[in-house]
Amino acid sequence: MKVVAWLTEGTWEACVDATRDVVRDRRPDEVVLLHVEDPGTAEAWTAAPVGLFGRGVHDADPTPLHDAARQLLDAAAARLDAGGSVRRDARTVTGRGALEREVVAACDDADLLVCARDGDRRRLGPHSLGVASRFVVDHAPCAVLLVWPEGAPDGADRLPPLPADPQVDPPRPAGPVRAHPAVAPPATPSPAP
């Protein structure tokens, strides 16, 4: 069994904790801690000095971004091994490129992907997933364990109503029903004078 944990800034702790629980219970053969460097962030990092100081300034060194990714992965590996109850050497991987595609590609031979919600975490529902995590959840070729970074919000009593059963309560069109001109009812003959 291979487990991939997709780690992002702000949610990685919850992913590592969930991965630790899986490792403790399932004893997988391989654990991969994955962080993907967003090309948009790298581009903004290197273009910012030019925008701020003009064309005569050289591009910024992307090394701090790589160092931050390495520190995140090192902290995640240490957290995974914390407490000593789960001794597991995890492989750390840094991907570069289209975020969603890199994560899906890393899951190609995985049995489980652990990732966190990255959208609006104040409420339940589909908006709690961002664009990247929605793509990954929809396209991952393995099982997905989706975790709440801070715990699920209250709101089970605020769930939307269930849709009507079409067999019992067929949908009704809004407004008056009008025939399409192409299927207009036949004209009734007017009475003779």
DSSP 65-115: HHHHHHHHHHHHHHHHTTTSSS---PEEEEEES-HHHHHHHHTTT-SEEEE
pLDDT for 2 equals: 93
Task: Report yes or no on 10 lying in a domain.
Answer: yes
Task: Report yes or no on 161 lying in a domain.
Answer: no
Task: Report yes or no on 132 lying in a domain.
Answer: yes
Q: What is the residue type of 7?
A: L
The residue written with tokens 């067999």 in the block is 167
CATH number for position 29: 3.40.50.620
In this structure, the chain runs to a length of 193
pLDDT for 151 equals: 79
Alpha-carbon gap, residue 143 to 18, rounded angstroms: 14
Sign of the Cα torsion 101, 41, 114, 130 reads negative
Task: Report yes or no on 119 lying in a domain.
Answer: yes
In three-state secondary structure terms, 34 is: strand
pLDDT for 109 equals: 93
Task: Report yes or no on 183 lying in a domain.
Answer: no
Q: What is the pTM of this model?
A: 0.70
Alpha-carbon gap, residue 107 to 140, rounded angstroms: 7
How many domains, in total, are found in the chain?
1
Task: Report yes or no on 73 lying in a domain.
Answer: yes
Do 35 and 93 meet the contact criterion of CB atoms below 8 Å apart?
A: yes
| Full domain range(s) for residue 64 | 2-153
Q: What are phi and psi of 114, to 5 degrees?
A: -110, 125
pLDDT for 41 equals: 66
Task: Report yes or no on 42 lying in a domain.
Answer: yes
Task: Report yes or no on 124 lying in a domain.
Answer: yes
Query: What is the pLDDT tens value at each position of the chain, 193 positions in all?
Result: 999 999 998 899 999 999 999 988 888 889 999 999 877 666 666 666 666 666 655 555 556 777 888 898 999 999 988 756 555 678 888 888 888 999 999 999 999 999 999 888 777 778 888 899 999 999 999 999 999 988 777 765 666 777 776 666 666 666 565 555 555 555 666 666 6
